[in-house]
Amino acid sequence: MASRLKLLLILEALFYGLSSALTTGLLFVYIVSIGAGIEGISAVVGISAIVKLLVHLIIYKYPRILVTKVRMNFILNHFIDRILFIFIPLTQNYMIIGLIYAAAAATPTTAFMNLVIFGSLSKNDIKDITAKRTATLGVSSIIGYAISIFLLAFMPAETKFFYIYLLGGVTGLLATTVVGFMHLSHLNGMKIPEGIEQPERIFSTSAYFVAILAGGNLLSMVWIPYVMEHLKGPDYLAVTMNLVITLTSVLASLVCKGWSFKRLRYNAGLDAASPILALVTPIPIIHPMLSAFSSFAYTASNFIGSFLFANYNKWLGAIKSSILIVIIMCVANVLITPISAIVKGNYFLLFLIVFGIKLIAFIIALTTIPEVAAVPEQTARTYSFLLYNKSFTGYRVSVEISKDTILLTLRLIGLAIVLSTLYIIYRILLFIVF
């Protein structure tokens, strides 16, 4: 059963990666093409990150949602996640794009996928399938980007995005079809642990994961504009950097999957050096090589978090593990969205911020995570407990958020949506009248 499921998981990653390259991978390009720029990108990313975070906090609070009719709900959410992207090129209003993207992002597809992996496979199989899915996603993304470049170059400007997104949506439905062949009945009504063992270690790992993802996401938003606008590098260099990053991530996934935590931790230090190397290198043609170095170190550093959650699955449980990983991804995006919007254009400061975030991740790994730390295990556990106890946000505050706070936030989001809708209606009426 495990081998069949792993094969289906890899096949799903193949189609999903191809679909994502044709849809999510072109989202920023489409936003820039309609003249929205960094303001539109920040708004779309911010709206989707907040909505997705709120949805998954609710699911974390009421995890039974995730283990009720798992197969049917997984297929339904997977379908909605992929099909909504078809509607994005039908509008040129970045706020509407943000709401469509937020609706797609709010579907707990990733949480369901994590549940399937954590709830069906052993610790070693989780590590193996994580590495193989990462490599598969990388390969399929390369294919998707190649198709996108070809279609963008040769299709009519007024229709090309619609047909590319339509192709991406249809390809995504192939991934949905693969999900339909998975036997997931064993996940229905899965037992949820009443308590969480060693929450301080889970909190330290979560903090590390947030910092690694936030630093990586912010670097990806800064680096290519820096090379093209500040260093005056040619357009093809940006495409080359993206290609090199993807190829290197595939290689790193295959090479690093068997590495020990002690060996992986050095890559977290190398990852922190990446933004500084990029900042002090004035020759554009060297940056693809630097991006290869950065991609390898980042992929290995990312594996620390993924592999640790595979180990902590026995304490946290498959359900909460699957949801918490998605919450961590959302928190990382929520953190960087205001930074990218406020500090836009100041590349020196942005690279320093990325360096600071990645350095914090490296310090957390070296001092508070026993499996990774350079200090003795007992010392790491002590530091981990202190970080957990003294942190202002705290693990309990972040993942056991009160019902009242969720309802208040939802009301504020609802108010924002109503105001945005009224503004859109006003602009449409203004356009019709005048």
Establish if 35 belongs to a structural domain: yes
103 lies in the same domain as 132: yes
Q: Are residues 234 and 172 in the same domain?
A: no
Contact 12, 134 (CB under 8 A): no
* Claim to verify: residue 48 and residue 74 sit in the same structural domain: yes
Where does a domain end: 154, 184, 214? 184
Backbone torsion region of residue 317, taken as left when φ is above 0, otherwise alpha when ψ lies between -120 and 50, otherwise beta: left
Q: Are residues 336 and 378 in the same domain?
A: yes
CB neighbourhood size of 375 (10 A): 14
Q: Give 196-247 pLDDT, tens digit per residue.
A: 667 777 888 888 888 899 899 888 878 877 887 788 877 567 667 877 888 8
Q: Which two tokens stand for residue 321?
A: 């593990």
Q: Is residue 406 part of a domain?
A: no
- The ranges of the chain with pLDDT < 50 are 392-405, 408, 416, 423, 433
Query: CATH code at 50?
Result: 1.20.1250.20
Residue bearing tokens 């062949």: 181
Distance in angstroms (rounded) separating the CA atoms of residues 21 and 139: 11
User: What pTM, to 2 d.p., does this model score?
Assistant: 0.73
Local structure of 283: helix, strand or coil: coil
- Pick from 156, 184, 212: which residue ends a domain? 184
Does residue 43 contact residue 337 with C-beta atoms inside 8 Å? no
Please report whether residue 409 resides in a domain.
no
308 belongs to a structural domain: yes
| Chain position carrying tokens 């339909």 | 180
For residues 222 and 246, give the distance between their C-alpha atoms in angstroms, rounded to a whole number.
Answer: 17
Contacts of 426 by beta carbon, 8 Å cutoff, 6+ apart: none
Give residue 84's identity as a one-letter amino acid code.
L
149 & 229 share domain: no
Q: Identify the pLDDT of residue 181.
A: 93
Q: Let me know whether 114 and 89 are in one domain.
A: yes
List the one residue out of 298, 281, 18, 257 whose CA is nearest residue 127. 257
417: which 2 tokens? 């949506």
pLDDT computed for residue 397 by the predictor: 47
**Cα-to-chain-centroid distance, residue 47:** 15
Q: Does one domain contain both 175 and 211?
A: no
Range of the domain at 232: 197-401
Which pLDDT does position 410 carry in this prediction?
A: 53
